[in-house]
Amino acid sequence: MRTPRSAAAGRLTVVLATLVLAVGACGGGPTAQRWAATVCDALAPWRAEISNLTRSTQEQMTAQTTPAQAKENLVRLLGGAEQASETARRKVAEAGVPDVEQGDAVAEGFTTSLARVRDAYGRARKTIEALGTGQPGAFYDGVKAAVDTLNEEYDASGLDTSKLNSPELKQAFDEVPECR
């Protein structure tokens, strides 16, 4: 049986928990250093995957394979880059909003840029997936067009850091070991 004192203590616990949540929500996000380290940790495997994709795609374009083999390999490679980009985007989003001026814009800029890259790889994958392999010349022309479009979209997806001038984040990205 609950006594009036234990009921009051229970209400006090609920009130304190609510206050802790409210104060935590108002207290800002991670520090610039913590956020930069998390972002760099998220981007390191993504950069490696993209480098591998670029190298493998170039090799695939010059390899002596059939169009069907090239198609299978390119679709797999582009799917891997699409997934790696989504994983990086998700991890950056999970990093939260840095507790700096314009932190919301910075975090949104990073996740939006990665989403655009992910989508560019996805469109290239779907385009190549839809190509017929019966005529090698037409197939490779289609692949070239898809890769050219991917490169254009990739370049356009870059984060415009000129609008995100945060001295704290610039210093953090320069200093934290995860970003070196």
Q: pLDDT at residue 147 above 60?
A: yes
What's the structural domain count of the chain? 2
- The answer to whether the pTM exceeds 0.85 is no
CA dihedral (110, 88, 80, 138) in degrees, to 10, reads: 0
24 and 36 part of one domain: no
Gyration radius from the chain CA atoms = 24
Q: pLDDT at residue 27 above 80?
A: no
77 and 12 part of one domain: no
145 and 117 part of one domain: yes
- Amino acid present at 126: K
Mean pLDDT of 70-87: 93
Contacts of 80 (CB under 8 A, 6+ apart): 49, 53
Judge contact between 56 and 127, C-beta under 8 A: no
Helical axes 103-129 vs 67-94, angle rounded to 10°: 160
Q: pLDDT at residue 64 above 50?
A: yes
DSSP state for residue 177 in the 8-state scheme: G
13 and 50 part of one domain: no
- Please report, in angstroms and rounded to a whole number, the separation of the first and last CA atoms in the chain: 60
Mean pLDDT of 133-154: 94
Per-residue pLDDT tens for 105-122? 999 999 999 999 999 999
50 and 84 part of one domain: yes
Which tokens sit at 128? Answer: 């190549």
Q: pLDDT at residue 142 above 70?
A: yes
Strand, helix or coil for residue 96: coil
Position 162 scores a pLDDT of 63
157 and 127 part of one domain: yes
87 and 157 part of one domain: yes
23 and 43 part of one domain: no
Q: Looking at 2-102, list the stretches that DSSP marks H as alpha helix, in order from N- to C-terminal side.
A: 4-26, 32-62, 67-94
Judge contact between 99 and 33, C-beta under 8 A: no
Name which of 53-57, 64-68, 74-78, 104-108 the model is least confident about.
53-57
Banded model confidence at residue 7, pLDDT cuts 50, 70, 90: very low
44 and 117 part of one domain: yes
Quote the CA–CA distance of 162 and 141 in Å, as a whole number.
Answer: 37
152 and 132 part of one domain: yes
Of 93, 117, 102, the residue nearest 38 (C-alpha):
93
Which tokens sit at 16? Answer: 């304190």
113 and 146 part of one domain: yes
Residue 15 belongs to what domain range?
A: 1-29
Position 10 scores a pLDDT of 36
12 and 90 part of one domain: no
Tokens 């935590």 belong to residue: 24
Name which of 20-24, 86-90, 150-154 the model is least confident about.
20-24
